[in-house]
Amino acid sequence: MRAIIPVAGIGTRLRPHTHTIPKALVQVAGKPILGHILDEIIPLGIRDVVLVTGYMGGRVKSYVGEAYRDLNVCYVDQEERLGLGHAIYLTRECVENGPTLIVLGDTVVTADFSSLVGGERTLIGVKEVDEPQLFGVVEVEGGMVKSLVEKPDVPPSNLAIVGLYYIVNTPLLYEALTDIVEGDVRTKGEYQLTDALKLMLERGEVMGTFSVEGWHDCGRPDTLLETNRFLLDRSGGNGSDIPGSVVVPPVSIDPSATIERSVIGPHVSIAAGATILDSVVRNSILNAKAHVEKSLLDNSLIGEGAVVHGHFRRLNVGDSSEIEIGG
Report if residue 74 touches ligand UTP, rule: CB under 6 A: no
**Binding status of residue 136 toward ligand UTP by CB under 6 A:** no
Specify the stretch interacting with ligand UTP by CB under 6 A; choose among 43-51, 80-88, 148-156, 241-249: 80-88
Distance, in Å, from the CA atom of 24 to the CA atom of 262, rounded to the nearest integer, reads 30
Alpha-carbon span 198 to 82, nearest angstrom: 18
Select 163 or 239, whichever has its Cβ closest to ligand UTP: 163
6 binds ligand UTP (CB under 6 A): yes
Ordered alpha helix ranges (H), 183-327:
193-202, 221-235
Is 35 one of the binding residues for ligand UTP (CB under 6 A)? no
Torsion-angle region of 296 (φ positive above 0: left; ψ -120 to 50: alpha; else: beta)? beta
- Judged by beta carbon, residue 187 or residue 245, the one nearer ligand UTP is 187
Which range binds ligand UTP by CB under 6 A, 77-85, 115-123, 195-203, 274-282? Answer: 77-85
Residue 163: which of 136, 128, 198, 190 has the closest Cα? 136
Select the span of 8-16, 108-116, 132-140, 295-303 touching ligand UTP (CB under 6 A): 8-16
- 32, 105, 132, 155: which one binds ligand UTP (CB under 6 A): 105
Beta-carbon neighbour count of residue 260 at 10 Å? Answer: 14
Told to check if 289 binds ligand UTP by CB under 6 A, we report no
Is 280 a residue that touches ligand UTP (CB under 6 A)?
no
Q: Which residues contact 75 (CB under 8 A, 6 or more apart)?
A: 50, 51, 53, 57, 61
**Shortest Cβ distance from residue 87 to ligand UTP (Å)?**
4
Sign of the dihedral defined by the CA atoms of residues 57, 2, 189, 134, in that order: negative
Between residues 92 and 294, which has the closer beta carbon with respect to ligand UTP? 92
Q: Which of 17, 31, 35, 106 binds ligand UTP (CB under 6 A)?
A: 106
Other C-beta atoms within 10 Å of 134: how many? 12
183 Cβ contact list (under 8 Å, min separation 6): none
**Residues of this chain that bind ligand UTP (CB under 6 A):** 6-14, 23, 52, 78, 81-84, 86-87, 104-106, 219
